[in-house]
Amino acid sequence: MTDSNEDFAAMFEASTKARRIERGQTLEGTIVGIGRDVAFVSVGGKGEATIDLAELKDDDGKLEVAVGDRIEAVVVSTSGGLTLSRRLARNAATARQLESAFHSGLPVEGKVEHAVKGGYEIRIGRQRAFCPFSQIDITRTEPPAHDGHVYTFRIVEYGEGGRNIVVSRRAVLEEEQRAKRDEVRRSIVAGAVVTGRIASVRDFGAFVDLGAGIQGLLHVSEIGWSRVSDPSAILKTGDEVTVKILRVEDNGAKIALGLKQLTADPWSKVCETYEVGQVRAGRVTRVTEFGAFVELEPGIEALAHVSTFEPIRRSEQWSDAVAPGTTAEFEILSIDAAKKRIGVALVPEGSRADSSASTAAPTENLGSLADKLRGVLDRRRT
């Protein structure tokens, strides 16, 4: 037999084998080329097949394979050549194909019809399948959250000739998480800015899902430069948020996040904004045994030390007359930008109205407190 005859015989044998391939058959092949819309897969003596490029990309549109990689897929068409798919489309699925998908572990597409006792009814082609509530998602959800949605499932049970099919979407999601986990972890380094979703909000802050099931803690003290008393007033579960990674500890088990670090620290320009002797409107935020904290602007808090408040009467404590939330004018006594400290003293109402350094009058004043302290403050200045 001549070389040309041998070549023709080999081609004829390969063509015969290719014609014997049926829809639903699982093949393993090597990617030999990547086009604009499809990838070309060599399936050995069976010839060459194509697969939609969209099936080889991740959720971000990034190609997951390269020339030379081996993949496993199912034949979805033999008309005009072999067409492969890495998941079984719900509209093309037959009982035989579903059984093949069960044995090969091939994902299948299914539509969530409605909730039934213990789970959801799923339609895959003409077949009815069942998905337990615990297997429809990674996080707990309540019906009818998934009704009408088309998802990818893994067949975990197949019996009675296709009359008893149990599927799991959770298994597919967990596989995707594991595949992405290493990539996400590589991006989680101190100083990096990442985007995530609020997983839950607590009194002490919020947990942020950074992807692939990895969560970090956004502590209440790192949400804003000004004091945040109720994180739930600012952050809502499910919201997308961009945060900065502050620390990664315990081999990645503990991730500290910051939100305020993405905006300028108001203390960085405090010396340009404030000066000793200046009068500013302020709001009392809290009172301690050593003085009252006064917010001059979001993120800038000053201290009116106890020494600037004298007892009005022996039977009365200075703190009894200071209520958090009240506003008045305060004189800047000292500034230490490096230590983020500003010392202030209450200015009696009206006494500095003509000062060029005075800011706009506050929306409300300390009223009787200012009146009581006027004489004391005047004596301290003489």
Class of domain 189-262: mainly beta
State the average pLDDT over residues 352-379. Answer: 42
Average the pLDDT over each of 153-162, 214-223, 296-305, 351-360 and give the range with the smallest value.
351-360
Residue 175, classed as helix, strand or coil, is: helix
- pTM tops 0.75, yes or no: no
- Residue 79: the pLDDT is 79
CA of 372: how far to CAs of 258, 310, 313, 367, in Å?
A: 43, 10, 10, 9
* Contacting residues for 73 by C-beta, under 8 A, at least 6 apart: 26, 27, 29, 41, 49, 51, 84, 85, 86
**For residue 16, pLDDT beyond 50:** no
pLDDT of residue 365: 39
Q: Residues spanned by CATH 2.40.50.140 within the chain?
A: 3-85, 90-174, 189-262, 266-381
Beta carbons of 196 and 237 less than 8 angstroms apart: no
**Poorest-pLDDT segment among 199-203, 206-210, 323-327, 360-364:** 360-364
Tens digits of residue pLDDT in 209-259:
998 889 999 999 999 998 898 999 999 999 999 999 999 998 888 999 999
Separation of alpha carbons 168 and 131, rounded Å: 6
Q: Per CATH, is 90-174 categorized as 3.20.20.120?
A: no
Domain spanning 266-381, CATH class: mainly beta
Distance of alpha carbon 127 from alpha carbon 111, whole angstroms: 11
How far is the CA of 274 from the CAs of 72, 200, 348, 351, in angstroms? 68, 39, 20, 20
Could you tell me the two tokens for 52? 């939609």
Residue 140 has a pLDDT of 84
| Residue 114 pLDDT > 90 | yes
Handedness of CA 256, 295, 323, 309 (dihedral sign): positive
- pLDDT at position 142 is 86
Per-residue pLDDT, 369: 40
Greater pLDDT, 20 or 86: 86
Residue pair 74/84 in contact by the 8 Å Cβ criterion: yes
User: Is pLDDT above 90 for 275?
Assistant: yes
The CATH homologous superfamily for domain 3-85 is Nucleic acid-binding proteins (2.40.50.140)
pLDDT: which is higher, 90 or 281: 281
| pLDDT at residue 187 tops 90 | no
